[in-house]
Structure 1
């Protein structure tokens, strides 16, 4: 079932690349691919890009760099940070940039995938061309509408369809390979190098077009936590990779048979007339599925960023009782859908959108490679010479892809670049704002130990029950406790200072989740540690605390939370600082409620508000 699910979710994106990758490579420039050697050269470049970038780098190496089963740029960042006592800031910067670029890719993949498939209808019925964009918009709205049902239910439906898609890809390509077996000469990598050497003026454009064949590789790693490494590796080598190769070889064989000048869209035109209509329908279904890979990956990445305090809290809904990594985030879903719809309306064709495709994905690959090299050196303990050799080889490949895609910046590549920049600014402003808020709060607060000692000497009026005060600072007295004493002038018989922490590991075992220390008969310290892929559920964690000897009744327990009302400081500081503070305060106001985020019963919560000027 995991293999079937992985087939439906993980490989949908890269599985639809044959629709447009070879077509765009052929259309670099009129006359640039009119001979058999040029067609074989382009095919050779695609074959070896898939082999080196996806099979070798991602499937064989990157998926091994899992953080307790979880993948993605932020997981890799956390894994790299574990190897340092004091992690350098540049590792965090790489993680932020990689995550931001993935968001840039996430709004383009659904748009270009669905558009490219729906465009096949104009071959079946030319009069339908004006309906391509409206049909695409309806399909995209439908894709995002079903996300609330969860990855598991979606993948059960998508898996068999994607399996059929890959089999059809392979079979349709094999037919033309048998008719023109000379196309297998493209297995020679020197044909691709020869093409680049003889077309130096077009080499950047060629590489940018070839890169379309490997887009979707990053989904193999981001969705690692949904299915695990083994199902992904097996499905790739047993079905996906062979079928992709067969289809690309088949497209080239078809073009060489009929002549490059007679082919507009080899993927659709090489199908027999009787199969064209069902093939367009299947392609449309496959591209709908392709969107799922980046959508579910975006949920995972956002959840990790929230847990690592890189983004404000958002609503996270778990959609599976057995797979904790399968989640749905309504806010992210809505924002993605709006972005995708705007892109379709802006570009209106997959060819135009293909220029925008690539900068973000190739940027993610460079960030992943850099962090992977750190893990190889410090975590896997590879010999420095082997690390350098690996890094140099793939830096040349990934750097070439990024440079080629960067050359399309003003042809549409600015779209993912702007989205990535916006996300990076939001993440960096949130982290900087949290740091400044913590520093300001620490300056104004009373040391917890000092307060506990004083209250033990001079007890205020005690009332029955247990009070749990939530605080992120383990040393200072919670603001809610200070205001409660100031205004109510009473103290509960049992008072618990509760701090929730996020581990650098995706999940924390139950026997390591909770620690309890008693200050005196009135106060206790409870620290609950969740993994960054876990949903922080405080009531469940407190049930674990019973095993450590803490007896409490949830119905006689009150949870005290501090709700800070943030305001940006005066403009006396730098304009950048003032602008960043205003962005942070806006993000904080729109963050999800702590009560809902921590799953605390609403009837047991007391919120005490304070104003803080940054």
Structure 2
């Protein structure tokens, strides 16, 4: 009987799992595969019509499209790269974080801390990676660390460039289809001659595509504030309808124009293409690479979905339908080489389907652009956590899915750049050249980092890593060379975008590093604060002082400068440090590290808040309450931790872990206590609960604490310290922030001066404060310090 029930339970669980996987597979069609699905709009359309001279060339290009989709999208991404996830997260930053943890190549400020308590404990208990010659060589040579960081930032810049170019390319391609349809409709109505038709077409080409594309782009970017979830509700049906439509038309074109196109996927045609190669034929590959545009999103958006759903959707739906679409378009082109605009997808549509094509192409082009915009938001959010991008406001549009974010400042900048591309170029070929260069550069970065992952993280033989790098790197390098041939025809714009974004990222990283090094060099020991107090006659004022600093040991220079000139600080001091760890998420039970500085009488604590590069913990209004509660737990468990009491150095304790919590001995928030029966101990100096007072406190979102009613195990000294913490909390809080101003020494070279100048400009124009914790301005104290570098 039990075995029968177990079988029924297992069957229900399997049905639930497959149902969930099927639902996810449908949802990701519009979010992950939007760009890949709309690529047929511009793959052949970005090719020069004069280079498509014969049927053989079309067959050879179709063979290239088939094998490029198969090798790069199917084999590389769907079969290999998806396995290199970082605890379910994907993307270039995820690969970089894996290398930082497994090869110690980190150069970011969060990686340079000497205090071992900041390091992340592996929850899975996996074995340590065996030391190898490759790992020792990479860890030994600093140039390798800089190269890997440069690759990660370069790949991030390519994602930003793709988010600028792809909306312009896809929307402008769809808009040109509208212009051609209008020309055909007017010709049918008025029966114009070929010359008149050409003149009207030229006039419409001048006045229709650009304005309509600009309107769609503005609407697309204005829609971003609604959030990925609301926008994505209509994405999957639109892309699914688009794919079924173009695949159906492709199947029709195959049977109507050239059934033998199916046999043209043979690699023999690739061989023929290479044997008759010249510069005009080779540059066509710069357009072919656009067929895999969006493949990077399969890996970058891994954190939002599951590997199984991504693979099932691509293999069973996206891949075969796209091949049918490309086969039908190639069949049409091969038999209509002398027709006007024969290489555009709209021309291969049967006449009675063109109106439906216009509607679906406009909708799907906007949907396809959404994937790159969302990926750009995600990559910038991850760079923010790693201190490689200026502080911008990040709005989380979903309470359940961490990756669904919206960054207003970045959104408007992307819109401006996309409009600039559309209005400035007015040419699908030039925009396609720049987009192809962005796509292939991003893929080359993934290939390079992935080869290191194979050797250092998966611990495969170096030959396996070298084979991966050579096989995929050689193919992508060939496409890169083809894209560079069109550098003067639009691809140069990507270099401009790269120069701007890379300069901002490198300057912010360099300035952050210099400020962190200054803090490390000028910090004072904790003994200094203890020894100087009697000498200066420092007085303690009621309340809690929160000192936000990047260093995790010692006293920051700005605070020592403050108390030297104004000898007074609060009854309770809490030094708070945020440290981003090279993991996607840090669980709540392992987030807070609490320690004590000096004797208990001084009531000085240190709180280190650890977060992953996908966490968002600084944008909460209840952060102060969480720290107070964690310190209360620390005081309660410290009485049983003999080692921490006798240790001469600061020793941090993880707060929040259920194994170390002592039930009933920590602070209790007043709103968690039954107001009808709660009378707090008189020692706590808190009156019975008053509903009007509670309503007033709820308006200002301040939580009050009390001692637990029944705590017979609590020592007198612990009770006294907890009561003092409650009293300090009731007296109010002040927040101390250091404002370090970078000043360059005379004689510094131009490059360093330029980076610091850009950093200071970015810092001055940041839309977000250094610690985004909704700190009231009346309680904020900023202390300025000059950093000479």
Does the alignment reach a TM-score above 0.5? yes
Who is 2:262 aligned against?
Answer: 184
Who is 1:514 aligned against?
Answer: 592
Out of 214, 227, 251, the position equivalent to 1:174 is 251
Distance in 1 between residues matched to 2:527 and 2:617, nearest whole Å: 27
1:531 aligns with 2:609: no
1:157 aligns with 2:234: yes
Give a deviation string over 1:532-572, Cα, whole Å, max 9, x none. Answer: 11113344752662573355666645242324252542542
Deviates more, 1:284-293 or 1:190-199: 190-199
Deviates more, 1:540-549 or 1:5-14: 540-549
Who is 2:276 aligned against?
Answer: 198
Who is 2:54 aligned against?
Answer: 34
Shift of 1:426: 1.6
Cα distance change of structure 1 residues 469 and 565 upon mapping to structure 2, 3 Å threshold:
closer
Cα distance change of structure 1 residues 263 and 315 upon mapping to structure 2, 3 Å threshold:
closer
Who is 2:475 aligned against?
Answer: 397
Cα distance change of structure 1 residues 276 and 507 upon mapping to structure 2, 3 Å threshold:
same
| Pairing of 1:86-235 with structure 2 (within 5 A) | 86-87=105-106, 88-126=145-183, 127=200, 128-129=204-205, 130-179=207-256, 180-235=258-313
Shift of 1:483: 4.3
Contact 1:116 1:349 survives alignment (8 Å): no
Greater length-normalized contact order (CA 8 Å, ≥ 6 residues apart): 1
Shift of 1:517: 0.9
Q: Between Structure 1 and Structure 2, whose CA radius of gyration is higher?
A: 2
Shift of 1:479: 4.2
User: Counterpart of 2:224 in 1: which secondary structure?
Assistant: helix
Distance in 2 between residues matched to 1:40 and 1:371, nearest whole Å: 34
Cα distance change of structure 1 residues 453 and 375 upon mapping to structure 2, 3 Å threshold:
farther
User: Counterpart of 2:389 in 1: which secondary structure?
Assistant: coil
Contact 2:737 2:783 survives alignment (8 Å): yes
Contact 1:539 1:599 survives alignment (8 Å): no
Contact 1:5 1:227 survives alignment (8 Å): no
Out of 626, 630, 633, the position equivalent to 1:548 is 633
Distance in 2 between residues matched to 1:40 and 1:386, nearest whole Å: 34
Distance in 2 between residues matched to 1:546 and 1:260, nearest whole Å: 78
1:594 aligns with 2:769: yes
Cα distance change of structure 1 residues 28 and 599 upon mapping to structure 2, 3 Å threshold:
farther
1:606 aligns with 2:626: no
Who is 2:754 aligned against?
Answer: 579
Who is 1:61 aligned against?
Answer: 80
Shift of 1:608: 2.9
Shift of 1:590: 1.9
Who is 1:312 aligned against?
Answer: 390
1:10 aligns with 2:32: yes
Who is 1:498 aligned against?
Answer: 576
Who is 1:19 aligned against?
Answer: 41
| Pairing of 1:182-581 with structure 2 (within 5 A) | 182-259=260-337, 264-455=342-533, 460-519=538-597, 520-521=599-600, 522-537=603-618, 538-539=623-624, 541-542=626-627, 545=630, 548-549=633-634, 551=667, 556-564=731-739, 566-581=741-756
Shift of 1:261: 5.2
Aligned length: 611
Unaligned residue ranges in structure 1 (runs of 5+): none
Shift of 1:407: 1.5
Cα distance change of structure 1 residues 453 and 153 upon mapping to structure 2, 3 Å threshold:
farther
Unaligned residue ranges in structure 2 (runs of 5+): 1-22, 107-144, 184-199, 636-666, 668-724
Contact 1:514 1:544 survives alignment (8 Å): no
Out of 78, 103, 111, the position equivalent to 2:97 is 78
- TM norm structure 1: 0.94
What is the aligned-residue RMSD (CA, Å)? Answer: 2.3
- TM norm structure 2: 0.74
Distance in 2 between residues matched to 1:55 and 1:156, nearest whole Å: 27
Contact 1:570 1:578 survives alignment (8 Å): no
Shift of 1:602: 5.1
